[in-house]
Amino acid sequence: MALQPPPSLTCPGHRAQPAPYVHSIPSDVLGKFCEQMDCLNDYDWMRFASHVITDQTELRKIKCMEKTGISITGELMWWWGVRLATVQQLLKLLSELQFYRAAKIIADWMSLHFSTDSIRTPLDPTLQENASLHPRGNRDESIKNGTKISLPPNSVHSDPVLKAGPDCLSLIPPPTSMDLPHSLQSNPPISSSVKPCSSSPPQQESLHNLPSRSLVWTKDEVDIATNGFSEENRINESIFADVFKGQRQNALYVIKRLKEKECENQNQTKRFFHTEVQICFRCCHNNILHLLGFTIEREFNCLIYPYMPNGSLTDRLQCQGGSEPLTWEKRLKISIGLIQAIQYLHNFGILHGNVKSSNVLLDANFVPKLGHSGHRLQPLEKKTENGGMKTKVMQASLAYFPEDFIRHGQLTEKVDIFSCGIVLAEILTGIKAMDERRDPIFLKDALLDEIQVAKELTCSKKGSFENLAAKEICFKYQDRQALHWPATSAVCLATAACVCLRKKNPDMAEVNALMETADHQRQYQMMLEERGYPGHSLNTPEETNDEPACPFNNGFSDDNCDGNMNAGSLNYVDMLPPLIRVTSAETYSEQMLRIPCESDESSNFSWDPIRDGAYQPPTNGLPDPENIFPLEFHTNNPEYNDDITAKSTVSEGHIPSQEAPVSSKRTLLNTENSSDTCSSQASAKETSMEIKINEQKKKMMQDILLYKEKKLNTSELLNLD
Ligand SMILES: Nc1ncnc2c1ncn2[C@@H]1O[C@H](COP(=O)(O)OP(=O)(O)OP(=O)(O)O)[C@@H](O)[C@H]1O
């Protein structure tokens, strides 16, 4: 259903006032209303609910929540609210069903907060005399205002609201069937047991009569599915929950059994359970993990999810169980899915509060599903047995939280966006968000340092320093295991991470735009591959593929290992169509056509002073001893130098130095592994690297140059003819 603008409540001579939406009812008013409605017997409640939701599955889900102690009317109102139902529609329905007490709660609030032009009391005419139910304020005020409003001819009798009496204000126009949410348009639910507005005595509807029972699992059912919680079905044991694999009717599930005793108090478990249930049921998005069921027996709280065959993003980034490293295409898709999930939640005013890579589950097609949201559980302080446990749990969370949240504890959208930025950085780098053997322990500190340095260097607008920081992050930390990662895509992803980490107003729209650019490039690359330009064959030395990856993926990094970046990805940057192309192709192409044989200390790429300002490049191609910062910011790998021009000091037949830049205050270093080892490995790689030029590739690079010089058109370049 297309979202409609709010129906205006207008009257001649008066300013149009938008009708308040159900979602704008304040929580205290809604609370009272829900309390009232939740007390209805099952039959009456279903009568009401089935006018709001005609989809029986949705309705069943909500009804099921009753057993968990969640207000089902609250859920119903949430469901309706996000579909832009108006208070007027709610009042009308309540009036039709003669739920006057509940209607009065809403009407009282309306009369206090909205002008008399915009409200009407939807009470049955017979009850207009009942002073205790009639919102007196409306009547009085309307008379005081002396407002006289004409009714649209065809609305007078059709709208029960309008039958209220001559001195009641009218609503013009009442929402047409087009304005109404789908559920209210027509076709009240066909249910044998629920007959709205039936005059027969209400039949008590019990949960057991509803087909929704499948959502509520019994202890026995869970026992059977997990084979008695057998060890072989255990997937994970965390402080708060045991995670088991289960099977029922040929479907695989994950059953998360909460450990109540480990939590500070029962209320906390209950709150966690409620939040998880509410969020999972409320959200219907391809990138949000669905909740398929739960148990509600005493001291036996289980949440049941679909089994995700590819486990968690953390596991796949760390290649747990010997899994293949994630390709960059998969990484890009996962990033986009995660961003969309968070945006979806935020659009509905839901804060996740627990975004981290272990909570991003991957289905059989590596589609990411964000799960396990809600309040974090706090463990009991068990000083003797489990000293330091709380600290560990806290530390794990700190890795994804911004400083001000840790200090003040106020969960906002910004917190989720920050956490998302850390996950994006994990995807880009394959580096764990936290590793106690590293300095700094937290990935976020390394990223924030890069951003700070870039900021200090550029003194320019945010976009510019973030881009600079992004390139540096790519250069230093990009995961080598994701082969053939196009530079533009990597920089876009790194920039997106930097945007998420902004202290003020991190902008998800900007993050999205960056990821769209990255995705365009993915599509372009796919197109190239379909046309017979296999991605890695352009200029990647074949032997690169066989080389062991730099030990980033063990959670360690070493600057000295960075020289052998994935040079193969340069080609795609060059070949990007003008719209998304960001690099200086000539520079790269020239570089790529050379035969690298040894590192050249004098070769140097420097930061483009024209674009980035402030810095005058050294004339001799060597770093200016007076001005150390260019050394800190130049990136020897041309892959990330879209704004960096090759200096004439790069001699023919040489590749740029493999020397790593010294950019930020600190870089992620494994304090246990000596960097020397890595450094010698890197130089060994360098000296042994012999690059064969493939004639086909060479021809292609030449074609690209011709294309750049406009001597070839796109069709000729891609051999389309
Ligand atoms: N639906 C699922 N499918 C497959 N594996 C899952 C699923 N849910 C969880 N897992 C596995 O179990 C691990 C632990 O899940 P759990 O929800 O306990 O995460 P956690 O990070 O330890 O805790 P929390 O989410 O409470 O912070 C995940 O990292 C993943 O490997």
pLDDT (0 to 100) of residue 718: 66
Confidence band for 667, pLDDT divided at 50, 70 and 90: low
- Average the pLDDT over each of 129-133, 239-243, 672-676 and give the range with the smallest value: 129-133
Mean pLDDT of 507-521: 90
| Percent residues over pLDDT 90 in the chain | 28
- 108-117 mean pLDDT: 75
Residue-level pLDDT at 571: 32
* Atom 10 of ligand 1, residue of closest alpha carbon: 311
Mean pLDDT over 157-168 rounds to 31
Q: Which amino acid is at 610?
A: I
Give the Å distance between the CA of 359 and the centre of ligand 1: 6
Nearest alpha carbon, ligand 1 atom 26? 372
Residue 88 burial by Cβ neighbours in a 10 Å radius (0-12, 13-18, 19+): buried
Structure tokens at 102: 């509940």
Q: Which residues line ligand 1 (CB under 6 A)?
A: 235-236, 238, 240-241, 243, 254, 256, 305, 307-308, 311-312, 314-315, 354, 358-359, 361, 372
Q: Which residues are within 8 A (CB) of 152 and not within 5 positions of it... i.e. 6 or more apart?
A: 172, 173
127, pLDDT greater than 60? no
Q: How many CB atoms are located within 10 Å of the residue 403 CB? A: 12
Contact yes or no for 359/381 (Cβ under 8 A): no
Length of the chain: 721
Of all residues in the chain, the percent with pLDDT exceeding 70 is 54
Predicted confidence (pLDDT) at residue 380 exceeds the cutoff of 50: no
Average pLDDT, integer, range 560-564: 33
CA separation for the pair 565, 682 (Å, rounded):
11
Binned at pLDDT 50, 70 and 90, residue 530 comes out as confident
| Ligand 1 atom 12: residue of nearest CA | 236
* Spatial separation of the C-alpha atoms in residues 236 and 245, rounded to whole Å: 9
Which tops the pLDDT comparison, 381 or 718?
Answer: 718
pLDDT at 652 over 50: no
Q: What pLDDT does residue 410 have?
A: 82
Q: Is the pLDDT of residue 101 over 80?
A: yes
pLDDT at 399: 92
State the closest ligand 1 atom to the C-alpha of 358, by its place in the atom list counted from 1: 29
Q: Closest by alpha carbon to 125, among 164, 93, 161?
A: 164
Is the pLDDT at 376 greater than 70, yes or no?
no
Position 574 pLDDT exceeds 60: no
pLDDT of 451 above 90: yes
379 CA to centre of own chain: 27
Q: How far is the CA of 509 from the centre of ligand 1 (A)?
A: 29
Let me know: does 420 contact 342? Beta carbons within 8 Å: yes
Distance from the Cα of residue 203 to its chain's centroid: 44
- Kindly write down the DSSP assignment for every residue of 520-584, as one continuous string: HHHHHHHHHHHTT--GGGTT--HHHHHSPPPGGGGT---GGGGGG--GGGHHHHHHS-TTT--S-
Distance 373 CA to ligand 1 centre (A): 11
Residue nearest to atom 23 of ligand 1 (CA): 238
Ligand 1: residue of 319, 372, 400 to mutate (most ligand atoms within 8 A of CB) is 372
Ligand 1 atom 21: residue of nearest CA: 358
- Spell out the alpha helix ranges (H) of 114-229: 136-145, 182-185, 219-225
Where is mean pLDDT largest: 158-172, 382-396, 421-435?
A: 421-435
Instruction: Looking at mean pLDDT, say which of 92-101, 344-353, 453-462 comes out highest.
Output: 92-101
Compute how many other C-beta atoms are within 10 angstroms of the C-beta atom of residue 710: 7
Rounded Cα distance between 91 and 93, Å, is 5
Q: How far is the CA of 243 from the centre of ligand 1 (A)?
A: 7
Q: Please determine, for residue 721, whether its predicted confidence score (pLDDT) is greater than 90.
A: no
Q: Which of 49-63, 198-212, 382-396, 703-717 has the lowest mean pLDDT?
A: 198-212
Are 361 and 371 in contact, with CB atoms under 8 Å apart? yes
Angle at 488 between CA 485 and CA 491, to 5 degrees: 90
pLDDT value, residue 234: 95
For residue 363, what pLDDT band results from cuts at 50, 70 and 90? very high
Integer CA distances (angstroms), 191 to 38, 56, 80, 657, 695, in order: 21, 9, 20, 75, 72
pLDDT at 387: 42
**Is 353's pLDDT higher than 70?**
yes
Atom 5 in ligand 1: residue holding the nearest Cα: 311
Which pLDDT belongs to residue 576?
33
Which atom of ligand 1 is the closest one to the Cα of 238? 22
Give me ligand 1 centre to Cα 679, in Å.
37
- pLDDT value, residue 106: 92
Residue 612 CA, ligand 1 centroid: distance in Å: 44
Residue 711 confidence (pLDDT): 78
Average pLDDT over the chain reads 66
Alpha carbon of 360 to ligand 1 centroid (Å): 8
Query: Which of 80-94, 115-129, 329-343 bottoms out in mean pLDDT, i.e. has the lowest?
Result: 115-129
The Cα 480–Cα 566 span in angstroms is 7
CA of 254 to the centre of ligand 1 (A): 9
- ipTM for the whole complex: 0.97
* Nearest atom, ligand 1, residue 369 CA: 1
135 contacts 107 by C-beta, under 8 angstroms: yes
CB 691 within 8 A of CB 596: yes
pLDDT recorded at residue 24: 84
Mutation choice for ligand 1 from 312, 365, 419, CB with most ligand atoms inside 8 A: 312
**Predicted pLDDT of residue 647:** 30
Rounded average pLDDT over 464-482: 91
Mean pLDDT of 607-616: 30
- Interval 37-51: pLDDT, tens: 999 988 899 989 999
Residue nearest to atom 14 of ligand 1 (CA): 236
State which of 41-45, 127-131, 608-612 shows the largest mean pLDDT.
Answer: 41-45
Per-residue confidence at 694, pLDDT binned at 50, 70, 90?
Answer: low
- Per-residue model confidence (pLDDT) at position 211: 39
Tell me how far the alpha carbon of residue 255 lies from the centroid of ligand 1, in angstroms: 10
Is 28 within 8 Å of 109 (Cβ atoms)?
no
Q: What share of the chain is helix, strand, coil (3-state, %, to 5)?
A: 50, 10, 45
Structure confidence at residue 507 (pLDDT): 87
Over residues 286-307, the mean pLDDT reads 88
666 band by pLDDT with thresholds 50, 70 and 90: low
- pLDDT tens digit string along 6-46? 444 433 444 445 568 888 888 889 999 999 999 998 889 99
Residue 584: the pLDDT is 33
**What are 294's strand-pairing partners?**
216, 303
